[in-house]
Structure 1
C-alpha cells in the first residue's frame, strides 16, 4: 500500500515565512550597509585627523617664519643696536617707539633685548643662555605656552655681538585667535601637553597638541541621507509585503481554502460549497475542472455500481434457472454460521431422480426446461425470503436458520407437493418428475461447521434415494452406519478443485526409520486436502478418484506439491522422500514429466517412488520398462503393501524394485499366531537374502518393532517411530491418523 504524503503548510504560512525571510535579509543587508558606511566614515575621520595635524604643522611653520622674519629685521635695525649700546631709555623705547615703529610682526609678540652676557636690558626675568639656542622653541611659562625665537645682534664693523634680540609670542592664543585659519581643526580645542618650564622644539609641538577635528557637514548629511533612505526603503518593503500578503490572502489563499472545503465536502458526501468569486483565472479553471471531474466521477460510480450489481448477479445467479448458484450458497452458509451462535439451522438438498435419462431421451432443451420448472416449483414451495440455490446439474439446495426445530420436514413436503403440481407434460415428457430430498436440521452448536451440515444432508439424501424408501429423509445418526461408501458433494467438489489447481492440497510426511538406531532414512509423502479448517483424508479421496479414473491427475498434483515442499526446504537436508503413485501414472506423459522434475534433487536426496503390487500386476511388462528407466535416472523403486494382493514371488522377482514394504497385516502377524509369524519371518529372510531392503508397516509399539527387527526387517514405519507431520523441519508437527493412508 502506498504511503500517504505528509501534509504541508497553508499558503498563508508560506507567504508569512517569505515576508519574514525578506525582512531578515533586508535587515542583514541594511546592517551590512551601515557597517560599511561606518568603516568609510572611520577612514575619513582618520584622513581628517592626518590632514588636521598637517594643517597644524603648516600654521606653526608659517607662524615661526613670520616670527623669524620680524626678528631678522629687528636684529638689523640701528635703534636696536643703539639700545644695546646705551639702554638708558630702553623701557621707554620699547613701550612707545617700538610699538609705533611697525617693526613688530602682525601677531601678538613681545621683544626682549639681552646684553652680550645674556642679561635682560630691563633687568626683569631670567638671563638668556649664552650662546642662545638657534631657531625657535616653545616653553610653558606658568599657564601660557610661549613661542620664543632669538637672534644675535652684530655691529656693522666688528664681529663681537652687541647682544641678543628675542621675540616671544603666546602660541595657543595666536592659533585660537584665528589669525591662522583652520579648515579641519576647531581652534578652541587646541591644547599643548607640556610641563611647567618645559621646552620643546617647534618640530615636536604638532605631535604633543590635542585638538578636535571639525565635523564634516557633508559626512553628516550623507549619513543622515543614507539612514533616511534605508528607513524609507524598509517602510516601502513593509508596505509592499503587507500589500502582497493581503493580495495573496484575498485572491489565492481564501479561494484555495474554499476549494479545500469543497473537496472535503465531496469526499464526505455532504453538501457541496458554493463557488466563490475567483479573480485568478487558473483557480477558476481548477474549480470548473473539479466540478466537471466530480460530475464525470459520479456518473462513473453510478455505472460502476450498476456493473457491480450486474456482475454480482452473474456471479451469484444461475443463468439457466435464475436462482442463486453454488457460490452464493457457500457465501450465505458461511455467513450464517458466522452470525448464528445459537439456535437451529436446516439444510435441504433436492435431487431430481433419473434426470440423466430424461436429458438423454428428450434432449438438452427439454432437460433445461425441466430444470427451470423444478426451480420455479421449489421457489413457490419455500417461504418468502428463503433462497433457492442450484448446486450443479439437477441438484438444488435451500438453507435457513430458526429459533425452534421441526419446520424443515413440512417445508420439504410443501416443495414436493409443488413439484407434483407442476405440469411437466407440457414439455413433452410422459414420465413423472420425482425429487429426493435430504434434510439435516440441527442445533448450531452440535454441527462442526457447515461442511459437517452438508455431509449430514448428503447422508440423508443417500437414504432418500434408496428403493422402497420415502423420497424425503431427515438425517439421524443411525444413517451413518449405512453410508460408509457415500461421498458428499462437498468432498467431491473439493477434490475436483484440487485437480483444477487449488492450493488446498497438503503433503504430510511420516518417517521411515532404522529399527535398530531409530535414525530416519526417508519420509513418505501422504496426501491431505484442507478445507475450512478440516482435513480430507485418503479414505475419502480415493473412492472419488477411482470412480472417475482420476488417479493420474491426482498423482500429478501430489508430485507438484512434493516438488514445492522440497524447493521450500520443508524436509531436512539429505533425507529422502517417497511418493505414492498409481501404476497408470508410469505410462502418462504429464505424470512422467512431473516425476522427472524431482530428478533435480538427485543425488543429494534419495527420491523413492512407491507402487502397490496389485496396480503393477495389471500391466507388468510396460510398468517394468518404465520403472527400469526411472531406476536408471537414479530413482529408488518401492513395492508398497506387499502381501495385500495376489501376486506370486515370481511376479515380485520380475519387478524392478529396490525396497519392499510388507503390509501391516503381515507385520502384525509377527506378534500373533506362531505359524503365520514364522512364514512371514521366513519370507522376509528369503527376500532380504535376495537383495531387497525391507520395511515393516504398522509399527505402533516397541514390542512389535523388536519382533520386526528379529524377523530381519531393517526399516519400519508407524506411530511408534513417528507420526505424519506437515513440515519435519518445523518445531511443531501436525499429527494425523496414519491408519487413513
Structure 2
C-alpha cells in the first residue's frame, strides 16, 4: 500500500512552520482588532479547526510511525530467515520477535505471513488473522477496544521488489494514539467513536467516526485584554524569530542532513565500503557529527563481518562435503549430486557411466601394516584415481576403500579408458615406500545408462556393485562392465545372504511375501484396513525389514523394491486375499514418491478402489525433503482414489506448520509419541493438545504401536480415529480381521 503522505524535506517543514506561524499571528491580530464578541466566536472556531488539524496530523503521524515500525521489523534479517526456514518460528516469535526492541509499546500481537498471505504457523492465542489478502492498514472495534491492524510487505534481499512475505502488527490504538501525540486544542479524554463491535474501517476514515471536545482556555480573557497592544510587537518579534529559525535550521540541520543522506545512498548501493565524504569537515552539531562517523565505522565493520562469514561458510561447506582423510568428496556430497542427477538428465539423451573402485585385499594390508599405512594407502588411491579422471569429474569416497565417480556424456569406450587409466596409475605407484611388499591393485565395476532413462539411472549403483565384485573374482579382468547375465552367479559375491535375497526379489520377483497388520476404528473396534508389511522368504528363512531394508537403502534400490511390493499387494487384491469392505495401506519411500515408474503402477489399483480403501503411507521426512515434487505426484495419486497418510509423524521434522503444505488426509503418530502419552503427566497433555490441533484441522489420526489396554484407552480419549499394534493384532498372512472391545 502506498504511503498516504509523501515525505518532504526539513527545510520545507521549517518553511511551512514559519508560514503557519506568521499566518496564525496575523489572523489573531486581525481578529483582535475586530469586535471582541466576534473574536470569541472566531477563536472558538479556530480552536475547533486546530483540534481537527491536530487530530489529522496525529493520525498521519501515528500511521507513519506504525508503518516505520513494521518496516523496521520487515527489514530485520531474522524475519527473512524465518520465512526461508520457519521450523522454529513459534519459539522465535515468542522469545525473539515479541520481545524485540523493534516493537514499541501497546503492541498486542505480531505475526509473520508467507507470500501467499498465510500465517507461518497455526498457533493458539496469536490474536492475528490466519490469512491476509496483502499489505493493509485498518482499524477494528473489538468489544470496547479499538485495535490497529497493520500488514507490511517483506521484500527480498538486495533491494529487490519481490514480496517474500508479510509482517503483521496489532496495536491497542487509543492509548498508543494518545500517548504518542501531543494535543493543544482537543481533549484526548473526550473521544467518542460511533463504531460497533466488529466494525472495520480504513485508518484514514477514522475522522468520520470520531467526536471530541476542546481543551479549556482560561487564558483567553487575559490574552484578549492585552492582544491589541501586544499584537504588533509580537508579530514583528515572531517574524524575526521565524526568519532566524529558518536560517539556523538550514545551516545547522538541513545542509548537513542532505550530505549524510547522499552518503547513505552511496553506501547502500556500493559493493565495497565507502568512506563518508567530508569525514574531516567541521559539522556544527555534535550529534550529527557522531552519526556521520558511526555510519562510516559501521559500514567498514559490516564489510569485515560479511567477508569473514563468506570465508567461514566456504570452510564449513568444504568440511561438510569432503572426506577429511583424502580430500575427495564424501558420501554426503555423493547423495546431493545423485539427487540432482535425475534433474540434470531428465528429458535429455545423456550417457551416464557409474564407476565403482575398490582396493583388492585392503583389509589384509590394513591389518598387516597398521592403520597409519592403511590411511596413507587410501590417500594415494584417492590421488591416483583423481589424476586418472577427466577434467571436472568428481571423485567420491563412499566409505573404507570404496570410491566412485559419475561420468556424464560418457559411453562404454570412454568409460573403459577412464577406468583403465585410473587402475594403471594405481598399479604403477611404488607402494614399497610404505613398506608394502604386495602389489596394490584396483577392481573397477562400471554400469552404464543412456537416453535419460530415470529407471536405468536408479539401478546404476547396484549394477556397478555387482560388476565390481565380478572383477574381484580370481582370473577375471580387473575392469568389469555390468551385463544382465551377471545376475546368475554374482549374488554370492555381494556382501551376504540378505543382499542375495534382495537381488533375487528384484531380478526374479521371487521370495517377496506380504503380511498384513489390522488397523481398527477406535469408535467401533472394527477393522478398517490392513497395513501391508513386506517380508522376504530366502533359504527357508523369513527375513524381516530390519535386516533387508538397510541393504535396499544402501544400494539405492528403494524404487525397484517398492515396485515389487506394489505388484505383490496388487496380486493379493486380485486373488481376494484381503477381505472386501476393508482396505490396504502401502508404504512408499521418498524416492518412489517422486518416481514416475512407481506412480504409473498405481493406476492398476484403480479397479479395486470401489471395493477397498486404498492408502499410501509416506514418512514426513521423505515428504519434506522433496516437498514440491512429492506434492505434485501425491495429488495425482489422490485423483486415482488413494488416501494419503503421513507415516511416523514425530520421528522426523515434527513440525505442525508443514502439515498445511502436505497433501495428506491421515496423520499416523509415531510409536515414540504414543509412548509419551503412556507416561502421563505433562507429556501426555502435550500429546493430547497436538492431537486435538491436528483433528481440528480436518485430519484423521492413527496411532501405531498400541500394546496395552491403557494406551488404547488414552488414544481413544484423545480423539484418535484408528489404531494398530500388537494389542490389536500382529502382521499375518493371510490378513485376519480383528475387533477390539
Do Structure 1 and Structure 2 share a fold, with TM-score over 0.5?
no
Bigger relative contact order (CA 8 A; separation at least 6): 2
TM-score (norm 1): 0.44
